Amino acid sequence: MRQTVDERHQAILLLVEERGPFRLSALAHELGISPVTLRRDIESLASLGRLERARGMVSAAPQSPTGSGLSGDTGPVVGMIMPQAPHYFGAIIEGARLGVTAAGGRLVLGISSHPFNRGTDQIKRMVDAGAEGLLLTPSLSSDRLDHDFDPSWFGVPVVLVERRAARGSRASALDSVCTDHRSGAALAVRHLIDLGHRSVALIAPTSPTAAQVELGYRDALDLLGLERPGLDTLVLHEGAMRLATVEAAADRLAEAVTCGQVSAALVVSDTEAITIVQALRSRHRQIKVPEDLALVAYDDEVAALCNLPLTAVALPKLQVGRTAAQLLLQRTRERSTSLDPNPAQHLDLVPHLRIRASTHAPQL
């Protein structure tokens, strides 16, 4: 499909932001456009201060310093408020930054440990200082917003990130962009079942993500006509990981494997999965992964770095952040014109499975 000039400019900026300086010839090849077209686009972007050129290379222009307000020089300012969970949200924040800066705007980040029905002062300050739209992830024990969350509080377009509004609630009128954790969990279970496992355990902390993973885990077992193993979901912790509870879960898992209750497990997340593998090696050496226990991690931030590289469900975090930013920028443009806004969108991005050394067919 033929790209518009704006679409080409956005593609150029995203590539340079993500991957650093490019030779012009390599960038033209990557984008599938002619060198003549690329040079024309580069000249246009450089004249706007968006790119820099030097000796056949093109790179992102440095961010200009700003004052005490949030107003940017060339584009919209987007406020983003996230919970205190940097491990999970780091890549989402980076994706949002890439989406906003590709449009010539600026992303301003705030951290909140409160649901927004009790913590709106921070949002009000951000909007009063010039934020034209908000990317919000309320701190909640589940990923669903209740009926007390009112979109009219904000006065600017809002996109929820990794949070869904309960159907029929006032917040359901908001756009949202989420990872489809139910599908991600089902991918893992389907992989283990296809290998021949019939007893798959779930090991997870208490979190909004884990709640959705458990639903997907149950969906997959029901769809495949399998019973849950005689082992309740092993709850690791709530909040920060605690080594003692993870090791206790490893002990319980080892017991279930030894007595034939379980032959495979899905573990949320990578850090917990790696810790369980280590605990099994040090405390239950008779149990081998993947010979006696096939194991899938859920996240894939560091799963490949385990001494035994772990099969993992890879989450589309960068894409969640970028998609949310692009949707919000669309809403800000709609608001500045006389056009009627498009219907609200509830977008779910599906994870994918990366198969490594920790999953194997069960031994006979």
Residue-level pLDDT at 85: 64
Residue 184 in tokens: 């991600």
Residue-level pLDDT at 351: 97
CB contact at 8 A, 347 and 323: yes
Q: Which residues have C-beta within 8 Å of that of residue 338, sequence separation ≥ 6?
A: none
Give the span between the Cα atoms of 159 and 28, in whole angstroms.
Answer: 34
Q: Give per-residue pLDDT as tens, 256-300.
A: 999 999 999 999 989 999 999 999 999 998 999 999 999 999 999
Give the span between the Cα atoms of 175 and 145, in whole angstroms.
Answer: 13
Q: Is the backbone peptide bond immediately before 229 cis, with ω within 30 degrees of 0? A: no
pLDDT tens digit at each of 364 positions of the chain = 456 676 787 788 888 877 778 888 888 888 888 888 888 888 877 766 677 877 677 887 765 444 445 544 558 899 998 887 657 888 999 899 999 998 889 999 887 766 655 446 778 888 888 899 999 988 765 556 655 667 777 789 999 999 988 888 888 889 999 999 999 999 999 999 999 999 999 999 888 889 999 999 999 999 988 888 867 677 776 666 778 888 888 999 999 999 999 999 999 989 999 999 999 999 998 999 999 999 999 999 999 999 999 999 999 999 999 999 999 999 998 887 766 778 899 999 999 999 999 999 988 6
Average pLDDT, the chain: 84
Residue-level pLDDT at 65: 41
Rounded to two decimals, what is the model's pTM?
0.76
C-alpha angle 124-125-128 in degrees, rounded to nearest 5: 85
Give the span between the Cα atoms of 182 and 62, in whole angstroms.
Answer: 40
Phi, psi of 102 (to 5 degrees): -65, -25
